[in-house]
Amino acid sequence: MAQVTLKGNPVQVNGQLPQAGSKAPAFSLVAGNLSDVSLKDFAGKRKVLNIFPSVDTPTCATSVRKFNAQANELSNTVVLCISADLPFAQARFCGAEGLENVQNLSTLRGSEFIENYGVAIADGPLKGLTARAVVVLDENDNVLHSELVKEIAEEPNYDAALAVLK
């Protein structure tokens, strides 16, 4: 169990975020067309997992925008924005913002992802959602970088996450 904060208030997060040097746990999440998508569907590509509570919050929306802006500069890389938002809300946000370089995935049927990636918020007002985290994987699903953001209302360290892909 890890502890982060939400606007300075302690929040417990269940599990352990995959660490650099480990193999990423398999997952199945829900794509925009309501199909199940697994880690295997991105085989051979490098992956940036941008994990956050909801795209309907300012910090989460900013992270999607920033990763979208930088995704074009990354070769053989897919940016997966993962939240509890329904695929309809994710699509509405990206459509309204004109964001086309990220792929949204929902934890709608992905409780094992939340547990296996150690991002399950266990208490407080966001209980049941995911903590803010970034996990970067190579083409073989080895973890190159991981960050559990200590303050949910703050952005991740984009430079550190993307540096491992350059």
Residues serving a catalytic function are 60
CA–CA gap between residue 31 and residue 19 (Å, rounded): 25
Residue 92: Cβ within 10 Å count? 14
How much is the CA Rg of the chain, to the nearest whole Å?
A: 14
CB burial of 31-54 (b: ≥16 within 10 Å; e: otherwise) equals bbeeeebebeebeeebbbbbbbbb
Contact present, 64 and 93 (Cβ < 8 Å): yes
